[in-house]
Structure 1
Amino acid sequence: MKLLLSLFALTLSLMALQTGQPLPALNLQGDDGGKVDGTPWNSDELKEKVHVIFYVDPDEKDLNNPFSDALKAEDFDRSRFASVAIINMEATWLPNFAIAKSLKAKQEKFPDTIYVKDMHKKGVSAWKVADDNSDIIITDKSGNVLYLYEGEVPQGSFDEIISLIKEHM
Structure 2
Amino acid sequence: MNKILLLIMFSLTIAELSADMDIHRTLPLITLSDDNGGHYNGETWDSSTLQGKTTMLMYVDPDEKNKGEIFKPTIEAFEKELDFRKFQILVIINLKATWKPTFMIKSLMKNKLTEYPKRIYILDNNSILIKKWRLTDNEYNTLVINRDSKVIYSHSGTWKEDEISQINTLIRSQVQ
TM-score by length of 2: 0.83
SS at match of 2:74: helix
Q: CA deviation at 1:105?
A: 2.1
Structure 1 residue ranges without an equivalent (≥5) = 1-15
Q: Which has the higher helix share?
A: 2
Q: Percent identity?
A: 29
Q: CA deviation at 1:65?
A: 2.3
Corresponding residue of 1:36:
40
Corresponding residue of 1:146:
152
SS at match of 1:132: coil
Aligned length: 154
Asked whether the 8 Å contact 1:17–1:23 carries over to 2, the reply is no
Q: CA deviation at 1:168?
A: 1.5
Map residues 11-160 of structure 1 onto 2, 5 A cutoff. Answer: 17-74=21-78, 75-160=81-166
* Large movers: runs of 4+ above 6 Å: none
Deviations 1:88-123 (A, max 9, x none): 001011111110111112222221111000000001
Greater CA drift, 46-55 or 100-109:
100-109
Greater CA drift, 30-39 or 100-109:
100-109
TM-score by length of 1: 0.86
Mapped partners of 2:115, 2:72: distance in 1: 10
Aligned CA RMSD, in angstroms, stands at 1.3
Greater CA drift, 29-38 or 96-105:
96-105
Q: CA deviation at 1:71?
A: 2.0
Corresponding residue of 1:165:
171
Q: CA deviation at 1:153?
A: 1.9
Greater CA drift, 105-114 or 35-44:
105-114
Mapped partners of 1:24, 1:162: distance in 2: 25
Greater CA drift, 65-74 or 53-62:
65-74
Greater CA drift, 122-131 or 98-107:
98-107
Q: CA deviation at 1:72?
A: 1.4
Asked whether the 8 Å contact 1:35–1:115 carries over to 2, the reply is yes
Alpha-carbon spacing, 1:42–1:68, altered in 2? closer, same or farther (3 Å): farther
